[in-house]
Amino acid sequence: MKNTIIFSMLMALTGGLVSAEDRVIALVNGDKIAFEDVTKKLWWQYSAQGLSEMIDEKLLLEEAGRLKVKYDAREAEKRFEALSSGYKDKKEFENNLRAVGWTPGDVKGLIKRQLLIKNTVIAARDINPSDAEVTAFFEQNKDKLGKADSARLRQLFVTSKAEADDAYLALSAGADFAKLSSLKSTDENLRKKEGDIGYISRGLLLPEIEKTVFSLKPGEYTKPMPTGNGFSIFKLESLKPGEPARLDTALKAELKAGMINQAVSQKLPELAAELRRKAKIEIVK
């Protein structure tokens, strides 16, 4: 979608150049950079790529018509809602679209075309992983698909080694970790939550920190450790053992969808190239 929006923005920009003045938009040591110069540079930088993508899209949509491919309107609506949900509200979403010359209808049209093209590749290349193929993929990757061990941690973070050493001495003397973090941590969120950072799965922490915290027993804490722009002390509250992956119905559907998407990504350029060879394409200069 990003490339499509860039190309549409260029069309909108260059479309207004016929009557636009050659206005200056920047000065570099007194040297002018004109709006027209910027749009020309962008046009030459992106137009060939954008045109190529539009040709492929047109050919693939023609093939969709030939194969009588359909798309799922509910899936299209879900994708649209997922895009718009990333914004504060509907107005902000539409303002961002308007800034690049788009409307919600344009986005819905793009999503529809994307789904039609995906389904065209699936139909043209007969992409439909069998249960046996999904099971084989699961067996090859089940170590990555299971839930890793996780540790519920509290963290006390300060900016200097001296502060960290003082906090460690206080803990050694019996200070309550949660209260000390709420008083001494320089991070506001840690203070509010009394240092509670929840469960952290194995593999998400820096190796040296992970090795140390996962070697603790519940109730124990680390010595001061360098983290980011300061120093941290971690306390292990509890450990949650990992769970091996099980190939249930939900995971099977998820894996199959992922395999289909990967196959579509691989086969789409092949199909587009094949359609180009059969098509009559004229570039009008």
HEC string for 129-196: CCHHHHHHHHHHHHHHHCECCEEEEEEEEECCHHHHHHHHHHHHCCCCHHHHHHHHCCCHHHHHCCCE
Q: 153 vs 35, 203, 216, CA distance in Å?
A: 54, 15, 11
Same domain? For 120 and 152 the reply is: no
Residue 131 covered by a domain: no
Domain of 110: which CATH number? 1.10.4030
The greatest distance separating any two alpha carbons of the chain, rounded to the nearest whole angstrom, comes to: 82
Q: Kindly give the residue spans of alpha helices, DSSP state H, lying in the chain.
A: 2-15, 35-66, 73-84, 90-99, 104-124, 131-145, 161-172, 177-184, 188-192, 207-213, 249-278
How far, CA to CA in Å, does 270 sit from each of 18, 63, 122, 124, 250?
39, 14, 12, 11, 31
Amino acid of residue 67: L
Helix (H, G, I), strand (E, B) or coil at 10: helix
CB burial class (10 A; 0-12, 13-18, 19+) of residue 198? exposed
CB 102 within 8 A of CB 94: no
- Coil, strand, or helix at residue 12? helix
Q: Given this model, what pLDDT does residue 5 score? A: 44
Give the residue from 89, 88, 110 showing the smallest Cα distance to 101. Answer: 110
Q: Which two tokens stand for residue 51?
A: 């045109």
Total Cβ atoms within 10 A of residue 172: 10
User: pTM here?
Assistant: 0.66
Does residue 47 belong to any structural domain of this protein?
yes
Whether residue 20 lies inside any domain: the answer is yes
**Tens of each residue's pLDDT in the chain, 285 residues:** 445 444 444 444 444 444 445 688 788 888 888 888 887 887 777 788 888 999 999 999 999 999 999 999 999 999 999 999 989 999 999 999 998 889 999 999 999 999 999 999 999 999 999 999 999 999 999 988 999 999 999 999 999 999 999 999 999 999 999 999 999 999 999 999 999 999 999 999 999 999 999 999 999 999 999 999 999 999 999 999 999 999 999 999 999 999 999 999 999 999 999 999 999 999 886
The whole domain housing 221 covers 147-240
Domain-embedded: residue 205 = yes
Taking CA atoms, 175 is separated from 38, 73, 156, 171, 197, in Å, by 62, 59, 13, 5, 19
- Residues 84 and 90 sit within 8 Å (Cβ to Cβ): yes
Residue 216 backbone zone (phi > 0: left; psi -120 to 50: alpha; other: beta)? beta
Same domain assignment for residues 113 and 154: no
Q: What is the CATH number of the domain that holds 212?
A: 3.10.50.40
Q: Tell me the C-alpha distance between 41 and 49, whole Å.
A: 14
pLDDT reported for residue 36: 81
Residue 147 in tokens: 């839930």
Instruction: Say how many domains are in the chain.
Output: 2
Domain membership of residue 281 (yes or no) is no
Residues 107 and 158 in one domain: no
Q: Is residue 65 part of a domain?
A: yes
In this structure, the answer to whether residues 94 and 187 fall within a common structural domain is no
The answer to whether position 261 is within a domain reads no
Structure tokens at 191: 């203070």
pLDDT score recorded for residue 271: 98
